[in-house]
Amino acid sequence: MPNVDILALKGRAIPAFAPVNALKQGFRQEVAIETQNPAFNEGMVDVRSKGIAGDNHYFTPNNPPYFEKVPGAIEELYLREGVAMRLLDINAQIKEAGLELYLFDGWRPQAIQRHFHGVWFPNWLRQNRPEIPEENLMEEVERYWSPPSEGEASPSPHATGGATDLTLRYIDTKQPLYMGGIFDDLTENAHTDWFERSEPSSMSDMEAQANRRLLYWLMDAAGFSNNPTEWWHFSYGDQMWARLKQFPAAIYGGVSPHI
């Protein structure tokens, strides 16, 4: 596996938010799932058993911005086997640079999706963004938290085993690369292109811009698509992936860890 040109990727701008976000709209209602594809019944694996680093962010109380173990959280980081193999390929390419992927989340129980979509984030918005009218609240929620699965034709992305939340870290020190904001910062700071919208005004901004670019292009080269509202969210095989990559159908539907 050839090593990648880290500096070249850090110098390549991330696509602008607006057209990508517009393309994403309606993906769960409009993108079919190809149930006859051999990958549809692909199994899942806890990626840590494959040597991929990570801890489930929702399983510990040391998890800003929540600071509580989330009801329904699991310790494991399950993903489809094919997704795990792609992540391993990325790790092989960046190992010489002293880097590796670090996962916050993978397959997600619906209890977590319901908690954040229907309870935690709406309440947070009511408290911290009181200017948002109640009738517009769910529109803001769903910029960051997808609705729970709505039948076999409309699974939430993390219910498919194809979506993961991750970052990069140094192998030796275990320190994450600076991305300019915490995981699950549910504001525009989380938009993947946030640091592309103006010239960086500080060394911190320059570092965040370069590191977001690196993560984005590493994942893109491995076939993943990025949710433009979240620099950490990447998927392969689900409906969002199919829409953003402009494929005719998804190859992964909803799944349980024991498929």
pLDDT at 146: 84
CATH 3.30.1380.10 fits 6-108+157-250, yes or no: yes
DSSP strand pairing (32-33 vs 249-250): parallel
| Residue 158, marked binder | yes
Are 220 and 234 in contact by the 8 Å Cβ rule? The answer is no
* pTM, two decimal places: 0.94
Amino acid at 136: N
User: What is residue 1's predicted lDDT score, i.e. its pLDDT?
Assistant: 54
Q: Binding residue per annotation — 117?
A: no
Outline where the chain has alpha helix (H): 6-10, 17-24, 27-30, 81-94, 110-115, 121-128, 137-141, 203-221, 239-245
Q: What are phi and psi of 213, to 5 degrees?
A: -60, -45
Distance between CA 48 and CA 212 in Å, rounded? 23
What is the distance of C-alpha 180 from the center of its chain? 16
* pLDDT score of 257: 87
> pLDDT averaged over consecutive 10-residue blocks of the chain (259 residues)?
88 98 96 97 97 97 94 96 99 98 96 89 92 93 85 93 99 98 95 97 98 99 98 99 98 87
- Strands 53-54 and 249-250 come out as unpaired
Return the residue matching tokens 């769910």. Answer: 138
* Per-domain residue ranges of the chain: 6-108+157-250
pLDDT value for 145: 82
Catalytic residues: 230
Does the annotation list 165 as a binding residue? yes
Distance of CA 2 to the CA centre of its chain: 25
Report which secondary-structure segment, H or E, holds 167. strand 163-170
Question: What region, left, alpha or beta, does residue 51 occupy, with left being phi > 0 and alpha being psi -120 to 50 degrees?
Answer: left
